[in-house]
Structure 1
């Protein structure tokens, strides 16, 4: 009887130990998954910074190509002029426009409380405005600011990210073949030609996107500066510059940039606000639907709904940097899918 009693108790202890071991294994697996997800998120932000550095490098090389075509100088001299000239142009622009822009920013910051107060009084006169004001109550506004703060958070802070992106761009600019050849060497011998084709196609698409985006930003800045100055809107230069920079964010950037301009115009009169809103919409329409498509012919055609979904997804994952780089990243994904999947299916059907 005694041995029989000991055997069930030993089996029970073994079952308890097995159960505890399973629990700890489960906890270890969950912890490992959490760590992997956190690392993947940080790694994804780093990849976005690499993409931003690549885009700046593409700009430098595109500018250098243009100089070389017109002058027939050596590649090294053209690239030095491209990089150095770009920084000199930025410095000159900030030198000539910096004082005026800083003065207008000071005026805007001083007049902003009165502008918001006047806009609230105007909005309170309509039922729809009352609903909007109710949504922008203290609790909702605090939640909105918290969301915006989280949206603008980055991996290393804004200045840290800019520092890393700038140095990556310089490294990619000085020796692009080193990184291109390194990627191709990682591929099997049978896929090296396909890898070169994909990289060249991605480079062409990014150049098209960059050309269209830069021209769009400059045109939006010029057109809005003229239109807002004609309407005697205060701080027209700052508003136009703000709108040009937000052109980096398709769809949502244009809407966000229009809000401060319309609010300032609303302090003058309702009719002025309507006219200013029309100036914003006409400018954005001309640039987005006429000028930009002519420049971005070489870029892959992206469905608008897919672009918006990519922006929302990237904004959720990586904040403002993800939204800015959503379109070029989507273009890269579309090219990879087309080259690695769609064309193989079409070849198989043709055979």
Structure 2
């Protein structure tokens, strides 16, 4: 080994050793990049029908952006004021429920174990409070996603330059598989979010709870965090029902149990069978890991990051290195056998 090779290998070793520290320090940047990729994926997903009509790519992407902006703007125009009032009402009623629980705990003599007060604002505050940093990060991710959607080849080929020439084809294939998996995952999540939001909103409306639009929106948005989010979404509805009476609480709990049984046994398996499936235990552990290491905000992007890592590991290690015939999202069947890589 000559001096140049020694320096190069030492630099690679140091870079690999520092990688966990860099990920820890730059996780916010990773989250922004993930958000930008999701925005670009959403724009391309909506543009797909226009592209199938053989419209020019630029026009298809423009129509996609206009359609997304129109849906978001129209929703806020039609329901924004109502939803804001209903969200405020949900928090107010949840605080009333917390006061009742605190009073009961105080009378029972268990306050020394549970604390004297239970603050719903403290529990739900992180979910409803939007900081200036979060707004700026969202704007950066949005505009970066628009640029990526406009010229995906520019950024993908630039990313390929980070790899040695002999590895670029494999990196390009992996990136294509990751992009396909993200599109399928995002489509599945959008279907689940809309379905759960409509079902939950309709259920609480039939029960007679106030603020059904807000409660349905909470249930729908919570689906973006698989498995854990839908469970947490039950508590605001139960807290609102508690201000009406025990029968309303009972019916609300039963309604959500029925909805989640329907979702877990019929809707979710059907969507995952057609789109993308990550093992549930792996997804749960990943969400818990990201939340523990990087805070509550990291759980929002834990699912797409898990999809990216899962597809990359299957493609680069299980298939290319071990030679196992494992299908990837979007593939009807995996290659019958692949020789292990010698790289």
- Residue 329 of structure 1 is matched in structure 2 by 305
CA RMSD in angstroms comes to 3.3
Equivalent runs, 1:1-351 vs 2, <5 Å: 40-69=23-52, 71-120=53-102, 135-138=113-116, 145=122, 157-297=133-273, 300-343=276-319, 344-346=321-323, 347-348=338-339
Preserved CA contact (<8 Å) 2:42 2:186:
yes
Unaligned runs of 5+ in 2: 1-17, 324-337
Answer whether contact 1:48 1:321 (CA < 8 A) is retained.
Answer: no
> Displacement, 1:124?
8.1
Residue 208 of structure 1 and its aligned partner are, at CA, apart by: 1.2
Q: Which runs of 5+ in 1 are unaligned?
A: 1-34
Give the deviation of 1:291 after TM superposition.
Answer: 2.1
Distance 1:134 1:283, change over 3 A: farther
| Number of aligned residue pairs | 309
What TM-score, normalized to structure 2?
0.79
The whole-number CA distance in structure 2 between the counterparts of 1:147 and 1:119 is 16
SS of the residue 2:273 aligns to: coil
CA contact (8 A) 1:57 1:173 kept: yes
Distance 2:104 2:36 in 1: 45
| Alpha-carbon contact 2:181-2:276 (below 8 Å) kept | yes
Whose helix proportion is higher, 1 or 2? 1
- 1:97-152 residue CA offsets vs partner (Å, 9 max, x unmatched): 11221232343344343333345567789x9xx86x6654148x68x9499769x8
CA contact (8 A) 1:307 1:330 kept: yes
Are the equivalent residues in 2 in contact too, given 1:310–1:326 (CA < 8 A)?
A: yes
Q: TM-score, normalised by structure 1?
A: 0.77
CA gap of 1:305–1:295, structure 2 versus 1, over 3 A, is closer
1:233 aligned counterpart, secondary structure? coil
